[in-house]
Amino acid sequence: MFDRRERRGGQWSRRITAGFCAVGMATQVACHTYLPPQDVVPAAGHEIAVELNDRGRVLVGGQLGESVQVVQGRLIGSTDSTVTLSVNRTVLLRGSSAVWAGEQATIPREGVRGIRLRQFSRGRTVLLSIGIAVGLAVIGGVISLAGGGIGKSDGGSGPPNES
């Protein structure tokens, strides 16, 4: 028979392992932010957000839909007159968004208000990871307190076996 202290030690090691796994998953998802608008288009392959002006909304309305304010995606290439993206998401004027599956869209430069580069945010990711770890610790503590009697041996006192 196991001593209760041994069981608790095993539970704590599992909780710690689960906590590390949760923090690891949070850092894999990570947080990103967009830098302020830039005049220079980054190199192909970067994740960007293209903010459209009124003319741009009209010019891309046939490809991306009416009232698109921001187009997010991976930069495929750019010329003096166009920016071509593999679109991940569009944000509409009213705030709603639509997820895309990487369809290619070409945006005329005359319709671009600004281009924002997507960048990894170390600070936000650390805060998210800490928040998840603390949340899991609190939930684990509450579950441990609420289920304090689970797993206790009552010395075999149960209903008699009727055969």
Q: What is the dihedral of CA 11, 14, 16, 20, to 10 degrees?
A: -160
Q: Which pLDDT score, from 0 to 100, does residue 105 have?
A: 95
Identify the bridge partners of residue 117 per DSSP, sorted by sequence position: 48
Q: Which has the closest alpha carbon to 39: 117, 120, 121, 119?
A: 117
Average pLDDT, the chain: 77
pTM of the model: 0.57
What are the percentages of helix, strand and coil residues in the chain, rounded to 5? 40, 30, 30
Q: Which pLDDT score, from 0 to 100, does residue 143 have?
A: 77
Q: Which pLDDT score, from 0 to 100, does residue 117 have?
A: 86
Q: Which of 17-31, 63-77, 137-151 has the highest mean pLDDT?
A: 63-77
Say how far apart CA 149 and CA 130 lie, in whole Å: 30
User: How many other β-carbons are positioned within 10 Å of the β-carbon of residue 111?
Assistant: 19
DSSP 59-92: HHHHHH-TTEEEEEEEEEEE-SSEEEEEEEEEEE
Mean pLDDT of the 152-157 span = 52
pLDDT band at 5 (very low <50, low <70, confident <90, very high): very low
> Each residue of 6-45: pLDDT tens digit?
455 556 667 677 666 665 665 555 676 666 777 677 778 8
> Each residue of 90-121: pLDDT tens digit?
999 998 999 999 999 999 999 999 998 877 66
